[in-house]
């Protein structure tokens, strides 16, 4: 009886302490202070950030596949060099992001294993195929354009390591967006066949790109808490609208038609788009998109084939550590 009473009072004390810490934490967030890895944070903040940052990292890594598919088929040496550099940048982004996620206490191995097991998500957009060279232009223009729209506000995210990683990522994404748009300009100023190829790519990518921003606000599970914690600065729908408004004039400049006959500009200047097919989004997230199986199979194969690199790096690190310990003991 006595022990139970003692435990209850211990439990009450801990709850009061946790509530005080949570209030202090929220006050820091409200004052736009950055949260750093060794700071106290609510378990749910750690969990949602680990989820978002690792999903983001997986997206960068899986995102190398649709474009990597065109490195050997780029139409000129200049295009090949630019595409190669872009794909390498995506790999770098994945690595910074895994490093940022690891500061929250989950190892890179665990994060990668969750993706390979199909338990962790990556962006829906990378489950669509790249059928022509115009798809490479469209990915740079629209997919990187959407990524920038989503990621610029993440440079002000409350979690320091994520925010800092995003600064460099966004600079590189801007270069990617420009190279994609330039491919589109070249195709649209080229032959009728090239222009048709550009239009066809826009027709196939437009709706999946709008889905990149996530479910509509009323269906977003994490939106409210992530906004309260200043992980997200804008909602999914707000960013989607900003993207549409920025992209319509670019499509007009290219002389391309957005595949949404119902789209119209309202009195505030915003382009209102037709309803998105959220059933398609759900299917892609459930693993039933056009390329989900291929993407996971390609990542699993690459992971298995890279095992010797990880083993060699570990063996080298261990050898170096024991040499340093021996030197310190001398």
List of residues contacting ligand BYC (CB under 6 A): 51-52, 55-56, 59-60, 63, 90, 121, 123-124, 143-144, 147, 150, 211-215, 220-223, 226, 236, 285
CB of 265 to ligand BYC, least distance (A): 25
Nearer to ligand BYC, 187 or 208 (CB): 208
Indicate the SS3 state at residue 158.
coil
In sequence order, which residues have a C-beta less than 8 Å from that of residue 85 and are 6 or more positions away?
none
Nearer to ligand BYC, 58 or 195 (CB): 58
Q: Give 53-106 as a DSSP string.
A: HHHHHHHHHHTHHHHHTTGGG-SSHHHHHHHHHHHHHHHHHHHHHHHHHHTTT-
CB of 330 to ligand BYC, least distance (A): 48
Residue nearest to ligand BYC (CB): 63
Closest of 291, 244, 302 to residue 94, by C-alpha = 302
CB of 51 to ligand BYC, least distance (A): 5
227 vs 52: CA distance, rounded Å: 13
287 vs 294: CA distance, rounded Å: 11
CB of 109 to ligand BYC, least distance (A): 20
CB of 61 to ligand BYC, least distance (A): 9
Nearer to ligand BYC, 195 or 231 (CB): 231
Q: How far is CA 213 from CA 48, 229, 238, 275, 302, in A?
A: 17, 19, 9, 14, 28
Nearer to ligand BYC, 67 or 195 (CB): 67
Nearer to ligand BYC, 194 or 220 (CB): 220
């Amino acid at each position: 009886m006595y022990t139970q009473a003692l435990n209850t009072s211990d439990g009450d004390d801990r709850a009061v302490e946790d509530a005080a810490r949570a209030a202090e934490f929220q006050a820091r967030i409200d004052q736009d202070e950055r949260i750093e890895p060794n700071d106290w944070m609510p378990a749910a903040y750690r969990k949602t950030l680990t989820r978002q940052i690792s999903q983001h990292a997986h997206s960068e890594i899986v995102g190398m596949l649709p474009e990597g598919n065109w490195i050997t088929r780029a139409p000129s040496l200049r295009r090949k060099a630019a595409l190669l550099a872009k794909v390498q940048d995506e790999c770098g982004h994945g690595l910074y992001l895994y490093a940022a996620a690891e500061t929250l206490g989950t190892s890179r191995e665990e994060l990668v294993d969750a993706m390979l097991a199909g338990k962790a998500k990556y962006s829906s957009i990378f489950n669509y195929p790249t059928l022509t060279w115009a798809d490479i232009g469209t990915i740079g223009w629209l997919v990187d354009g959407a990524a920038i729209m989503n990621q610029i506000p993440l440079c002000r995210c409350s979690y320091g390591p994520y925010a800092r990683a995003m600064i460099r990522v966004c600079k590189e994404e801007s270069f990617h967006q420009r190279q994609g748009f330039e491919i589109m300009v070249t195709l649209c100023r080229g032959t009728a066949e090239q222009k048709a190829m550009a239009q066809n790519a826009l027709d196939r990518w437009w709706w999946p790109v709008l889905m990149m921003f996530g479910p509509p606000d009323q269906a977003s599970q994490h939106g409210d808490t992530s906004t309260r914690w200043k992980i997200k600065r804008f909602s999914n729908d707000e960013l989607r609208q900003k993207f549409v408004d920025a992209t319509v004039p670019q499509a007009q400049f290219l002389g391309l038609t957005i595949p949404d006959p119902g789209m119209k500009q309202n009195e505030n200047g915003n382009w209102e788009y037709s309803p998105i097919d959220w059933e398609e989004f759900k299917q892609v997230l459930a693993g039933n998109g056009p390329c989900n199986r291929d993407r996971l199979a390609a990542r699993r194969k690459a992971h298995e084939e890279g095992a010797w690199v990880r083993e060699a790096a570990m063996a080298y690190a261990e050898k170096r550590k024991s040499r340093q310990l021996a030197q310190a003991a001398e």
